Homo-oligomer: A and B are copies of this chain.
Amino acid sequence: MKQRAITAFIFAGIMLGGIYWNILSFQVLFTVIAAGALWELTGILFRPGSAWRTGRRLIGCLTGLFPVIWMGIWLLQDGAGLPETGHTGLSSWQADTFHLGLVFGGTAFFILCLFLIELFIPDPTPAETIGHYLLGLFYIGIPIIALFELATPGSVYLPHRVFGLIWLIWTNDTFAYLIGSQLGRTKLFERISPKKTWEGTFGGMAGAMLMAWGLSFWLGEYTPVQWLALGAIVGVIGTLGDLVESMLKRSVGIKDSGTIMPGHGGLLDRFDSFLFVAPFAWLVVKMLGG
């Protein structure tokens, strides 16, 4: 219990510092989180004892990190070459679309090179190996890109947006746990996550929306409608993201993704909801004019 509290305290300090110091610390923080989560994910996908395991885990990490680092470099250049500065006629949708093209265009060539690398590795199942690399790209790399987009509209870094999203997810998890353990009767998805209940899920969503309403006063950044939409997204997609991670872990028969945080499981366990929420949060807020 004491160990859990100390871990949580250090973790919260690192998160707050990284988010609020500046854009560079924000990027480094989430690049490191992505790297750690990818290391855990590839450890799940490439089983202990399989051939070339460490090499494959490294390539898998690199695949997921490629768009994150590539995007990070562009963001740090303070809009150099990005259309906000040169082409002010672009809407915020168009500017984000342009960034995505940059990130994905480079990544697509990286992926094609993975096929070529496999030629030179005597791997009995190249299709499976490349598939595993791609899983990390979409499950971890792309969500972090969505977070970068969400946090830097018009190339200006807005840390409240990142903190707000994480705070909503934490609120959702806490309310879901409290209400679920008190009132939970109806199983939500017993096959994948036996402890989750509908009561807890709705409780979590209610808590997140209530908190979102509060954040619209305390943090600003978004309109109340946008914040409430974020709360709802966190409630629905966050829960689904949690289930997806449980599914991936169950398919290989493990419980915790790692041991980096004593008493809290691995990074992937901590960020499973967050990773799934980020792209949808970006989309929904954008659709509401954010």
Residues of chain A whose beta carbon lies under 8 Å from any beta carbon of chain B: 44-45, 83, 86-87, 89-90, 94, 96-105, 108-109, 111-112, 115-116, 118-119, 122-128, 130-132, 134-135, 137-139, 142, 189, 191-192, 240, 243-244, 247-248, 251-252, 276, 279-280, 283
Which of B112, B126, B135, B280 contacts A276 (CB under 8 A)? Answer: B112
A240 and B119 in contact, given A99-B101, A108-B142 (Cβ under 8 angstroms): yes
Distance, CA A174 to CA B96, complexed state (A): 45
Give A132's nearest chain B residue, CB to CB: B131
What's the number of copies of this chain in the assembled complex? Answer: 2
Give A134's nearest chain B residue, CB to CB: B134
B100 touches A94 (CB 8 A): no
Distance, CA A127 to CA B128, complexed state (A): 9
Residues on the B chain within 8 Å of A98, using CB = 94, 97-98, 101
Which of B100, B132, B244 contacts A116 (CB under 8 A)? Answer: B244
B109 touches A101 (CB 8 A): no
Give A241's nearest chain B residue, CB to CB: B115
Give A129's nearest chain B residue, CB to CB: B131
User: Nearest chain B CB to A20's CB is how many angstroms away?
Assistant: 28
A119 and B283 in contact, given A100-B104, A127-B132 (Cβ under 8 angstroms): no
- With A100-B102, A134-B137 given, can you name 18 additional A-B contacts, CB distance below 8 Å? A83-B94, A87-B89, A87-B90, A96-B105, A97-B98, A98-B98, A100-B105, A101-B102, A112-B138, A112-B279, A115-B138, A115-B276, A124-B251, A126-B251, A127-B252, A128-B128, A131-B134, A134-B134
Q: 18 A-B contacts, Cβ less than 8 Å apart?
A: A44-B127, A83-B94, A87-B90, A94-B98, A98-B98, A101-B102, A108-B138, A109-B283, A111-B142, A112-B138, A115-B139, A119-B189, A119-B244, A119-B247, A122-B191, A128-B128, A128-B131, A134-B137
Residues on the B chain within 8 Å of A44, using CB = 127
User: Nearest chain B CB to A99's CB is how many angstroms away?
Assistant: 7
Residues on the B chain within 8 Å of A247, using CB = 118-119, 126
Distance, CA A101 to CA B135, complexed state (A): 20
A279 and B87 in contact, given A101-B102, A130-B131, A134-B138 (Cβ under 8 angstroms): no
B138 touches A248 (CB 8 A): no
Distance, CA A108 to CA B276, complexed state (A): 12
B135 touches A127 (CB 8 A): yes
Residues on the B chain within 8 Å of A251, using CB = 123-127
Residues on the B chain within 8 Å of A243, using CB = 119
Distance, CA A159 to CA B161, complexed state (A): 47
